[in-house]
Amino acid sequence: MGKVLVFGHKNPDTDSITSAISYAYLKKQIGMDAEAVRLGSISGETAFALGQFGFEAPRLIEKAADEAQQVILVDHNEKQQSVDDLDDVQVIEVVDHHRIANFQTADPLYYRAEPVGCTATILKKLYKEHDVEIPKEIAGLMLSAIISDSLLFKSPTFTEEDRKAAEELAVIAEVDAESYGLDMLKAGADLSGKSLEELVTLDAKEFTIGDAKIEIAQVNAIEVNDVLERQVELEVLLNSIIEEKDLQLFLFVVTDILNNDSTVIALGQAADRACAAFNVGLTDNRGVFKGVVSRKKQIVPILTEALK
Amino acid sequence: MGKVLVFGHKNPDTDSITSAISYAYLKKQIGMDAEAVRLGSISGETAFALGQFGFEAPRLIEKAADEAQQVILVDHNEKQQSVDDLDDVQVIEVVDHHRIANFQTADPLYYRAEPVGCTATILKKLYKEHDVEIPKEIAGLMLSAIISDSLLFKSPTFTEEDRKAAEELAVIAEVDAESYGLDMLKAGADLSGKSLEELVTLDAKEFTIGDAKIEIAQVNAIEVNDVLERQVELEVLLNSIIEEKDLQLFLFVVTDILNNDSTVIALGQAADRACAAFNVGLTDNRGVFKGVVSRKKQIVPILTEALK
């Protein structure tokens, strides 16, 4: 068996990057020639976590098949979120916490998905099942992933299993989860150096609901007004994307990581109907979703119902 | 949460029936209102195993949604192998040892697949992970499943993990695996009382490869000629199924459980191409696959490659 590449999804978040590193480490301990790689740029938040625990960013790849026959997917399974030449390699394992869709194999594989808030929470179990000790630095990365996916333990995706894992990992990593976590989120929420294009694409996902195509981009911020000040230019950019992709809705979500509200800019013909589903009226294309932080759990299901 | 139905695939084999019983038992121990049910008739082999350890066959269902909102799939994931109204219920868990295909969910779920020879081997781990003791009778069922799927430990699908599980289960069940196993396989290989329809549907699975629909039925036999004597009538029946379901291939596999070769009858427009992939030419629509006993490991992957 040759080298096995381990990677998370495109537009990688902290869970995708750190889970690739954490799982590749575990697989190496149990005898596999595994290497963590990544499919996209590192965010400021992820860079902060890597730096804090002494890791370099994994190597960037665009294709897998020219250097490996087998791969392991972490934090995703849908083909369109994975490496472009996924069909040319064998997926031998998946460790994930998302729904399963657009995923198919020719052979049996190891597939481990659990409905928890973060891939790292599942990886922590796998270390235990294989009786491999989690090094302090890896524990720090895994904790960072849970903090990131749960917005410091506040997202409704955050489960009791995530909480237990985070507590144990904080002890191993010897950090105070709350203060370290806030510093890490702040590093990701520093949007000052970001271009408008970066803001709009950093964490954007397209969804199809019935016949409607919509896109939802989300950024975390400490100073929401830093983003909203640029609303006029932002709208020009969002409208051009709407036209180009023929979207019914572009929802640009700025989440305040301190008070856990989200300010949205909603454009497209379904904008008013979409926001009405949250009992929010738009003023100047803008509204506030109180207590909403999770695209997956608090936004997509309501839009799916409202627009179908 | 209401009742959760737990079931294996259509045309259930011993693993599908006993894994539904064994997993429903585990889930009940940890607080879920789970009921094992089945999607088809019990084979002679399975009846032998159930009788040996004092179980009744689970209740037969044709639809799930009229009595439950949530289901757990064991020993399968492909939609066409599952209950007809699968789209009308929520799949909350899958425990399986097959490839993943034609499977999709709207929400995150618990999905546990491992590339081992039998679902029961994975279930044995889950008992341990949940710290639930395996009752003697359940251990007997789980051992039966491993014996069945591995053709008494001889199939190439049989892994070291299966071997360890089988050894431990035999101790708990207080049976001699070899002698009990041979008796059980013989009970299933007695084809004398079977109608042609039974032979063809007993353990038949449909697969979609690219645009092609194929079906592979497998029976275990001690006297392969007892089946082959009926080839003329068999072909009439197989051709009618091919026409009815618009199949590209029907592969009828008769596996000799004593010498571990399989004689196949291959019909449909892809028959020659399919058998050529095994370096077997067909004479009178018939050929011998030497040393082939596993549909999953030795037949499906090669056909997937040859017909895609």
Backbone phi and psi for residue B207, each to the nearest 5 degrees, phi listed first: -135, 150
Give the chain A residue whose CA is nearest to the CA of B302. Answer: A106
The 10s digit of each residue's pLDDT in B50-92 is: 999 999 999 999 999 999 999 999 999 999 999 999 999 999 9
Which residues on A lie below 8 Å from B110 (Cβ)?
113-115
Which residues on A lie below 8 Å from B124 (Cβ)?
none
Structure tokens at A24: 């590749």
Q: What band does B1 get if pLDDT is binned at 50, 70 and 90? A: low
Is B162 annotated to bind a ligand? Reply is no
Is B15 annotated to bind a ligand? Reply is yes
How much of chain A, in percent, has pLDDT values that exceed 70? 100
pLDDT at A106 over 90: no
Closest CB to A108 among B99, B107, B112: B99
Is residue B127 within 8 A of residue B26, CB to CB? The reply is yes
Structure tokens at B27: 């889930």
Q: What band does A102 get if pLDDT is binned at 50, 70 and 90? A: confident
Give residues 64 to 123 of B whose Cβ lies within 8 Å of A: 97-115
Question: H or E segment at A95?
Answer: strand A90-96
Is residue B144 within 8 A of residue B49, CB to CB? The reply is yes
Q: What band does A180 get if pLDDT is binned at 50, 70 and 90? A: very high
pTM of this structure: 0.88
* Cβ–Cβ gap B301/A109 under 8 Å: no
Tell me if chain B has a CB within 8 Å of the CB of A28: no
The 10s digit of each residue's pLDDT in A148-177 is: 999 999 999 999 999 999 999 999 999 999
Query: What ipTM is given for this predicted complex?
Result: 0.87
A35 to chain B, closest Cα gap in Å: 21
Is residue B213 within 8 A of residue B247, CB to CB? The reply is yes
Backbone phi and psi for residue A203, each to the nearest 5 degrees, phi listed first: -145, 70
Closest CB to A108 among B97, B129, B304: B97
Q: Report the alpha-carbon distance of residue A85 to residue A264 in Å, rounded.
A: 35
Neighbours of B226 (CB within 10 A): 15
pLDDT at B114 over 80: yes
- Determine the pLDDT at residue B86: 97
The 10s digit of each residue's pLDDT in B252-308 is: 999 998 888 999 999 999 999 999 999 999 999 999 999 999 998 899 989 989 988
A107, A116, A304: which to substitute to probe chain B, counting the most B Cβ within 10 Å?
A107
pLDDT at A1 over 70: no
Starting at the edge strand that comes first in sequence, how are the strands of the sheet with B34-38 ordered?
A59-60, A34-38, A4-7, A70-74, A90-96, A110-113, B110-113, B90-96, B70-74, B4-7, B34-38, B59-60
A294 to chain B, closest Cα gap in Å: 14
* Cβ–Cβ gap A108/B129 under 8 Å: no
A285 to chain B, closest Cα gap in Å: 30
Which residues on A lie below 8 Å from B301 (Cβ)?
106-107
